[in-house]
């Protein structure tokens, strides 16, 4: 995912004085072991841009302003550097330490951020130290007119609440992960396998198929739309092989057989798991299926309250596949529409719908809530690919998710 | 159009005694000069099946039962033949003559048709003879419990009213002309040129494009969906040339240049003019544009009452193109939604919208009303193709419409 175009990444700038724990917080939020900034203060005031993954948000551009924190006052150079950063910032995080609290620096930065209409998330780090208490949290929050999230970067506490604030406050046009376009080069052909069965709406295509065709056009590539029966012939008619074959999950096994191994193959469900959520988080959730024990509780969550068919996927098929997979009974609970249950702690797995009725932001928020409760979460599409054994090949275009699968 | 699959043709069976004018009526309705049946009564009781065009309904299968009319009573063989015809009949026409009126034959046939739930249109022919009068029309209509359309097949009077009855009464599943499928063979490639401009809805395709992709899949062919800029490259990547290129009308000139002359090219608008109406009637309407004189009245009819944009096609663009074409002013009237004006006689041309909000049946009815008033009618898509000079190439896949253009 390191090649996600810069424009698709949420740019998050991290502000705070030295020793409040900015670098530790960045490392903790992104779970990356590489130290981003050494413990020794930098000799330059230049901010550091790092493209990284922040689960479940996906690719972000983290702007570490470690070099432009204060030295008592904001010197001219530091003010300039700060302004320069803010022109590229989608969302700012202001980090305070329980040991040092609010100074003129935080007041000035917060005002500059607000002046530009940039969303601001406040963090009070070092809640693990003796210096922390609840009244300081409230007092400093009041001083900055900002709700501060208590965090311990070193103990990895409060991180999911910070992510939830990021998801909630990120600007409106941010949640636009392309369906497929970031995987393509101009002039690429993508073969889309669209079975026409009884479930296909009369005279139409289903929306994910239409969105995929459109996204391919938007990225100067083109799609060959074909039924599974004509796939082999259609592939043979192309002089240059396609960049990718995308199939409806139902036909994966046939399409797998008809697609030469050197051509990448994935499914619409996998594309939309990524487009509408975070593929890595969902793949981790799929792996958790094999850790389930008979008697475990599983939550099945649907965002809408659709009319259920006789062999409804959420009510019938998924419970059946899971029982077969673990070879025993499970305790299922279902929720639909509105909100997640407040207490997720009794569940061993959450299975979420494809979230076509949710925005990406809403889905990322739900992923984050599940992570906070330490409950693995998977969606219908990734679960189906996993229980049918097609996930390994379907993840080939997504190295980060693939490496989670192989861990 | 003679190769329209039989399943797509409305099967119309024509019943009536000898000499009521069945054959003349068939010839008059279909405007075909070939005599379908000789004046000498046939020596066999077998019905004759004739695939033909009936404007504006399009392809129909006319079943001429000339050989099974009565000889005083319905003999066993004739009853059997009649029942055989009725198993294949979508709609029946019962023809009476003003000279002979209702007999047991008409009563028996009408009952047999109704028993099977087949829609029935009643025609009283020979209104041009002295035998005809209004009270007979009413009396015989009452006897058959059928509203009889007065017609003179030889003088071509009342024909459009018969067609309107056919359109109104044809069974519900009849108005399903394929978008493109009848032009294709299994395994064909169709290249669809879909420009992405400001008018394209965000993240989607417009419905006619989606319907075309679907119809291609339904006919075991496949589509290559491409922007106009990538067309040349995409064509070069195909080993076997496509059966057809279909483009958005806006990009026709560029696509025309990039599509080798041996490959057929048409537009989505032309496909949908045919799918949603009758291409031949609309092409005749387009030709009538060049007969307009300054000062003539033109009716612009839209089926829906959409929010108008600044350069609305119906309000601004089409009037401008027509004025430019004829080099003078025209008098425009606009109607939208509901119905046509009752009196169309003052108009020299009707320009109808693409009728995406109308069923094919509703559009065919409007075409028929215009034909009855003897006012040429064209739709937006065919008009645009005509005034931009792209209609001749765009009609190559449609020989019948093309021959009207060349007349």
Q: What is the pLDDT along chain A (407 residues), one digit of tens a residue?
A: 334 444 457 889 999 988 898 888 988 887 654 434 444 444 456 788 887 777 777 778 888 887 676 565 556 667 777 778 888 888 999 999 999 999 988 998 999 899 888 999 999 999 999 999 999 999 999 999 999 999 999 998 999 899 999 988 888 666 667 899 999 999 999 999 999 876 677 788 988 899 999 999 999 999 999 999 999 999 999 999 999 999 998 888 899 999 999 999 999 999 999 988 889 999 999 999 999 999 999 999 988 766 555 567 888 989 999 999 999 999 999 988 767 788 899 999 999 988 777 778 888 888 988 988 999 999 998 998 999 888 999 999 999 899 999 98
- B225:A238 CB<8 A: no
- B224:A221 CB<8 A: no
Task: Note whether A356 contacts B: Cβ–Cβ < 8 A.
Answer: no
Min Cα–Cα distance to chain B from A113, Å: 31
- A230:B204 CB<8 A: no
Task: Note whether B227 contacts A: Cβ–Cβ < 8 A.
Answer: yes
Min Cα–Cα distance to chain B from A190, Å: 9
Say which of A200, A214, A222 has its CB closest to residue B205.
Answer: A214
- A196:B203 CB<8 A: no
Chain B positions in Cβ-Cβ contact with residue A240 (cut-off 8 Å): 237
Q: Which residue of A has its CA nearest to B187?
A: A230
User: What is the Cα–Cα distance from B286 to B57, expressed in whole angstroms?
Assistant: 18
Task: Note whether A232 contacts B: Cβ–Cβ < 8 A.
Answer: no
- B237:A240 CB<8 A: yes
- Which whole number is the average pLDDT over B229-255? 94
Chain A positions in Cβ-Cβ contact with residue B205 (cut-off 8 Å): 210, 213-214
Contacts of B257 (CB under 8 A, 6+ apart): none
Chain A positions in Cβ-Cβ contact with residue B229 (cut-off 8 Å): 220
Match 């401008």 to its residue by tokens. Answer: B320
Which of residues 73 through 112 in chain B touch A, CB cutoff 8 A?
A: none
Task: Note whether B286 contacts A: Cβ–Cβ < 8 A.
Answer: no
Q: At residue B250, does pLDDT exceed 90?
A: no
Number of CB atoms found within 10 A of residue B355's CB: 25
Is A212:A178 a contact under the CB 8 Å cutoff? no
Q: Pairing relation of β-strands A264-267 and A244-247?
A: parallel
**SS3 call for A352:** strand
Q: Pick from B172, B202, B226, B245 the residue to mutate for testing the A interface (most A CBs within 10 Å).
A: B226
Task: Note whether B199 contacts A: Cβ–Cβ < 8 A.
Answer: no
What pLDDT score was predicted for residue B173?
A: 66
Helix (H) or strand (E) holding B235: helix B231-236
ipTM of predicted assembly, 2 dp: 0.70
What pLDDT score was predicted for residue B41?
A: 46
* CA atoms within 13 Å, Cβ hemisphere of B223: 24
**SS3 call for A389:** coil
Helix (H) or strand (E) holding B53: strand B48-54
Q: At residue B305, does pLDDT exceed 70?
A: no
What pLDDT score was predicted for residue A309?
A: 58
Q: Which residue of A has its CA nearest to B227?
A: A217
Work out the burial of residue B87: count CB atoms within 10 Å of its CB; fewer than 13 is exposed, 13-18 middle, 19 or more buried: exposed
Distances (CA, A) of A83 to A23, A26, A60, A169: 21, 21, 20, 21
- Which whole number is the average pLDDT over B196-222? 88
Task: Note whether B246 contacts A: Cβ–Cβ < 8 A.
Answer: no
Q: Which residue of A has its CA nearest to B231?
A: A222
- B222:A226 CB<8 A: yes
**SS3 call for A342:** coil
What pLDDT score was predicted for residue B46?
A: 74
- pLDDT tens string B339-360: 778 889 999 999 998 877 777 8
Task: Note whether A279 contacts B: Cβ–Cβ < 8 A.
Answer: no
Work out the burial of residue B51: count CB atoms within 10 Å of its CB; fewer than 13 is exposed, 13-18 middle, 19 or more buried: middle
Say which of B217, B220, B234 has its CB closest to residue A222.
Answer: B234
User: What is the Cα–Cα distance from B98 to B115, expressed in whole angstroms?
Assistant: 26
Chain B positions in Cβ-Cβ contact with residue A271 (cut-off 8 Å): none
Chain A positions in Cβ-Cβ contact with residue B214 (cut-off 8 Å): 196, 200, 203-205
Min Cα–Cα distance to chain B from A247, Å: 14
Least confident of A5-14, A27-36, B151-160, B285-294: A27-36
Q: Pick from B198, B207, B210 the residue to mutate for testing the A interface (most A CBs within 10 Å).
A: B210
Q: At residue B3, does pLDDT exceed 60?
A: no
- Which whole number is the average pLDDT over B270-276? 91
Q: Which residue of B has its CA nearest to A237?
A: B239
Task: Note whether B27 contacts A: Cβ–Cβ < 8 A.
Answer: no
Min Cα–Cα distance to chain A from B245, Å: 14
Distances (CA, A) of B315 to B160, B325, B354: 30, 16, 14
Domains and CATH numbers, chain B: 6-169 (3.40.50.300), 181-272 (3.40.50.11420), 278-387 (3.40.50.11410)
- pLDDT tens string B80-133: 777 788 888 889 999 999 999 999 889 989 998 998 889 999 999 999 999 999
Least confident of A289-293, B25-29, B331-335: B25-29
Q: Which residue of A has its CA nearest to B189?
A: A234
Task: Note whether A214 contacts B: Cβ–Cβ < 8 A.
Answer: yes
Instruction: Count residue pairs from A and B with Cβ separation < 8 A.
Output: 93
- A240:B239 CB<8 A: no
């Amino acid at each position: 995912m390191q090649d996600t175009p810069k424009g698709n990444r949420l740019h998050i700038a991290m502000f705070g004085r030295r020793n409040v724990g900015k670098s530790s917080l960045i490392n903790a939020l992104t779970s990356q072991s590489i130290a981003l900034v050494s413990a020794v203060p930098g000799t330059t005031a230049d901010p550091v841009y790092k493209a990284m993954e922040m689960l479940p948000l996906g690719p972000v551009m983290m702007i570490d302003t470690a070099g432009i924190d204060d030295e008592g006052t904001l010197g001219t150079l530091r003010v300039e550097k700060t302004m320069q950063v803010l022109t590229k910032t989608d969302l700012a995080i202001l980090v305070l330490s329980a040991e040092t609290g609010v100074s003129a620096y935080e007041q000035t930065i917060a005002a500059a951020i607000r002046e530009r209409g940039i969303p601001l998330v406040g963090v009070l780090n070092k809640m693990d130290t003796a210096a922390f208490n609840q009244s300081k949290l409230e007092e400093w929050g009041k001083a900055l007119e900002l709700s501060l999230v208590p965090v311990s970067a070193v103990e990895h506490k409060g991180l999911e609440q910070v992510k939830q604030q990021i998801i909630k406050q990120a600007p409106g046009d941010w949640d636009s992960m392309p369906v497929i376009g970031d995987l393509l080069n101009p002039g690429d052909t993508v073969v889309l396998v669209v079975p026409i069965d009884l479930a296909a709406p009369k005279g139409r295509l289903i929306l994910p198929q239409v969105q995929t065709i459109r996204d391919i056009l938007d990225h100067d590539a083109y799609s060959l739309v074909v039924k599974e029966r004509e796939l082999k012939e259609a592939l043979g008619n192309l002089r240059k092989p396609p960049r990718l074959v995308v199939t409806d999950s139902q036909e994966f096994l046939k399409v797998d057989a008809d697609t030469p191994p050197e051509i990448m193959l994935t499914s619409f469900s996998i594309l939309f798991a990524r487009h509408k959520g975070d593929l890595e988080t969902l793949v981790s959730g799929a792996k958790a299926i094999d850790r389930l024990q008979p008697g475990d509780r599983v939550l099945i969550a649907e965002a809408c309250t659709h009319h259920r068919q006789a062999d409804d996927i959420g009510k019938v098929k998924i419970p059946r596949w899971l029982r077969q997979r673990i070879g025993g009974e499970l305790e299922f609970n279902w929720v639909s529409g509105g909100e997640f249950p407040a207490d997720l702690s009794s569940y061993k797995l959450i299975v979420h719908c494809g979230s076509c009725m949710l925005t990406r932001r809403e889905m990322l928020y739900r992923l984050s809530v599940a992570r906070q409760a330490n409950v693995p979460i998977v969606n219908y599409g990734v679960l189906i690919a996993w229980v049918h054994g097609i996930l390994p090949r379907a993840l080939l275009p997504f190295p980060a998710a693939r490496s989670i699968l192989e861990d």
